[in-house]
Structure 1
Amino acid sequence: MKNLIILSIAGFLLGGCTTGTSITKEGTTNDPKWHKVETILNKDQGTFPNLQSLSEVRQGMTKDQLYSLIGRPHYDDGWRPREWNYLFHFTTPGQGENDITTCQFKVIFDHNMIASSFYWNPINPKNGVCPPNIQHKQIANKRYTLSVDALFTFDKYDIENLNTKGKEDLDSLVRELGKFKELNTIQIVGYTDRLGTQDYNEKLSYNRAQTIKQYLTLKGIPSQIINTIAKGSEDAVKECQGISEKKQLIDCLAPNRRVIVDVDGYIEGTPENNPAIK
């Protein structure tokens, strides 16, 4: 009886909360089964994947390589599982709930723990295409760098202190974003110069990034795809050592006062032969 209990516990630890999918030695299945959506581990209920990273998922990858591309699985499949399960959201204007399509994604590994096959399961809408139309578009990643001095009055950050040139630059950015067929994620990173305390600079860079997010939202960009990061005086472009006169130092440090906008989305293009997204 004692041995039976030990074996039962060991089986539970090895199996975890598996889906019950029957997996061959080669890492395939004829009947993929899925976790209930609400059993997800991620408290944020899944993620918007980086589409460029998702497009690079291939057969033959190790778990470490997959982890680096699309992160850890969102569901618990126990110890050394032969399947990884994710919950992904995609921005799909005119489709899904609030223009978002939600899909489950399954990676199945062979007996050597090498990625072998991939499966999708539509969640919302239930009859949706997963992943939505990736095979009809080309992934595009672009970076835009904005000068803070051209955006804001010196040492200011709120939308009321956007100057004329700043509004023109942001309107130009909005036009650039309009060239994307679809937008997936926008990351806004704010920077300051080294003048002032670290806490002050981090708060200032955060507020400026938030103001730009607010401006883009007012222009129709969905707020849920925009993330903001405060870097303060990190990653300086110029050090300007040996300058004591304040105005000259402020002018010299101008390139450090910037906002970087990284955009991930789709443009029209030709599909890649990628088994993970077909």
Structure 2
Amino acid sequence: MIQQRAKPLVPMLQFVPLAVVAAFLLTLGGCAGSAAVAPQAGMIKEDSPPPRAEDFPKRDAVKWKEGAFPSTEALRTMRTGMGKDEVRELLGSPHFSEGIAGVREWNYFFHFHTGKGPEFTTCQYMVRFNRDMLTNGMYWKEPDCAMLVDPPQVKPIPAVVTPSPAPAPAQKVTLGADGLFRFDGGSLADLQPAGRAKIEQLAAEIKRSFRKLNYVAVTGHTDRLGSESYNEKLSLARANTVAELLAQGGVPKGVIRTAGMGERQPLAQCPGAAKTPALVACLQPNRRVEIEVSGDR
């Protein structure tokens, strides 16, 4: 018998389609990076300092040009030591073209509502990974953008220390939003007659009771029904409307400040997820506007 020679395996690789090779490389670039990948030339160093504004990619280089409105809760969840799959689950894929393999930096193009109608502001966000492809730093190009994720709490302004007796503690008034506005409304046009009367009466009481005002803090709150971004926008709109009506009633505009806390400071905890009449009624205490007044009587 004539013995046939075994054909070499290596030449067969010549017939693998280039598309298959490219797909394989692309898969490597998108993985969470459970194994260490040697950094390529030009990649960030392990001990690189925080990025400067010029280290962020230019906005006109964004691949996903429409950007995204992120979940602030997802951004608050970000921490060091997370893999790429965890980051992608929270924030989605990066919005810029970051390369294929060994990528150590993801950049995002995020939008946040300002609370003034449809207006929004845009921020750039960078996530850096170490050589094990785990997050080791998260950065905003614009420092003020961090406050959009974790807004400062409204804090009383400390009174100036004088030899006179200590000023009286700040007075807080809580108005139920259900009695002020129509359902899901937050503008002056959405105020119910009884709600407008309450605010006008409160403005008159403030003018009558205080000879000097330190501040008037107006804070809007919502329940947990609806999206987080919608609730933050609605709570701020309601606070701004109440503040505007107080100013119309004679309270000096310069001492009034507003904040919208959305659903973050509930008074009532109610079980259930479906929007039923019983759940809406149970969550009623959370839908409110708080007015805190500090001054000399």
TM bin (shorter chain): 0.3 to 0.5
TM-score, with length taken from structure 1: 0.47
- The higher radius of gyration belongs to 2
Q: Which has the higher strand share?
A: 1
- Structure number with higher relative contact order (C-alpha < 8 Å, ≥ 6 residues apart): 1
With the length of structure 2 as denominator, give the TM-score of the two structures. 0.44
